[in-house]
Structure 1
Amino acid sequence: RRKFPLYLIGYDPVGKVQRAASVGDLASIERLINCHGYHVNGQYTRRRKSLHYDCAHNHPDVVTLLLSKKASIDVQDDEGCTPLIKATQRGNVECITILLIQGANPHLRDLSGNTALHHAVSRDNTTIASIQCHP
């Protein structure tokens, strides 16, 4: 049976917002956005946005904050991964639930042709697969 890689390679934070997002520092993110003018849809290394980092590192409170600030929910990085795909690859149920409730498109495919549901099924994660089939 084929095993998939962890998919966290390259998700080391590169900027102030990404560093705060990767550790779930909600106060710092709010300050950076509100006081310093950081844009929630700013593009960083490999076309990754702050929402990708939050979903990869499992910080649902930050995901909620960024979505309330109009973060692009279905943005794809250089591998075609959306925040939903990234959260699914990492098994982050709370982030997945928030994204689906907020209207994330579960049918988008990464560059390998896989949707978030494909990633859930390939990892035998029935909880996540059922969430994506019945949000």
Structure 2
Amino acid sequence: MSFSMKRLLGFGAKERTPLGFCDGPRGASLDVGPGMPGSHHWRHFYARHRPQEKLHRAASAGKVEKVVSILDRGEAHVDSRDKKNRTALHFACACGHVKVATFLIASDCEIDICDSDNSTALIKAVQCQEEECATILLKHGADSNIKDGSGFTALHYAVCNGNSPMVTKLLAYNADIEAKTKDCFTPFLLALRESKVHVADLLIRKGANIHALDEFRRNALMYAVRCESKDIIALLLQRGIEISHQDGFGWTALQYAAASRSRM
């Protein structure tokens, strides 16, 4: 039996709950993994993805006149890509340069081009919390339901940033409130996983399915127990969530609650 299989089945594991689900600090956020930047400001994006092409450098620096000049002289196409398949629009939106993004869109750039991580300019704008750029993209028809390589949509990233206004805006532009990541996280489950209780409450009010399950068949009540949100627990119980539901390890929310109390 492999080590990973032993860990999944609990052999030799030190955790008191399966995979240490309730063993961390109170209200701690789980690691979302690669590609999930959280408070991913544009400076971090620029430092990690410094543009090499002239057009991309100008776009990332917000030099709209330079962008106009490069395109007018035919030195690059508006949708020219770098080695990671990023366009000038990706860089402009990640760095929050509204004028550049507006010009590129007016120049008929392809608004939903995906880079090597399958991220669109909208996903980058939401990741980097550049709300004005995200709004412009949405107003010009950007698809809010494209998934990146991890299965995250722009809405998932807005949730992880705890950005309620962006969540509301994306939903207004037909973002799928039940979209699932590769780990089967809906935006609602992800909000609880990341302890963004205010966002979870918003998503409930927007009609999110409270009965969704992740890849380990954990439900929202288990995640509410994990982040110790009495209000969400009460709301879920009022709405009829199944208390006796067992996850893939045979644990119920009550067992997780007992384990959580035992470590306090």
In structure 2, the residue matched to 1:49 is 87
In structure 1, the residue matched to 2:30 is 2
**8 Å Cα contact 1:33-1:40 kept in structure 2:** yes
Which letter does structure 1 place at the counterpart of 2:107?
K
Q: Percent identity?
A: 34
In structure 2, the residue matched to 1:104 is 142
Higher relative contact order (CA 8 A, sep 6+): 1
- The CA distance in 2 between the partners of 1:45 and 1:129, in whole Å, is 31
Which letter does structure 2 place at the counterpart of 1:53?
F
SS at the partner of 2:84?
helix
| CA deviation string 1:12-69 (max 9, x = no partner) | 1111111111110000000000123421111112111111000111101100100111
Specify whether residues 18 and 26 from structure 1 end up closer, same or farther in structure 2 by C-alpha distance, changes over 3 A only: same
- 1:66 corresponds to which of 73, 88, 104: 104
Which letter does structure 1 place at the counterpart of 2:128?
R
After the TM superposition, which parts of structure 1 deviate over 6 Å for at least 4 consecutive aligned residues?
A: none
**8 Å Cα contact 1:58-1:87 kept in structure 2:** yes
Which letter does structure 2 place at the counterpart of 1:61?
K
Q: Does 1:84 align with 2:122?
A: yes
Q: Does 1:31 align with 2:69?
A: yes
* TM-score calculated relative to the size of structure 1: 0.94
SS at the partner of 1:2?
coil
Cα offset, 1:10, TM superposition = 3.9
Cα offset, 1:130, TM superposition = 1.1
Q: Which structure 1 segments of 5+ residues have no match?
A: none
* TM-score calculated relative to the size of structure 2: 0.49
**8 Å Cα contact 1:14-1:45 kept in structure 2:** no
In structure 1, the residue matched to 2:12 is none
- The CA distance in 2 between the partners of 1:2 and 1:132, in whole Å, is 24
In structure 2, the residue matched to 1:13 is 51
> Could you say which structure has the larger radius of gyration?
2
- The CA distance in 1 between the partners of 2:145 and 2:72, in whole Å, is 33
- The CA distance in 1 between the partners of 2:49 and 2:151, in whole Å, is 21
- The CA distance in 2 between the partners of 1:128 and 1:12, in whole Å, is 26
- The CA distance in 2 between the partners of 1:12 and 1:105, in whole Å, is 26
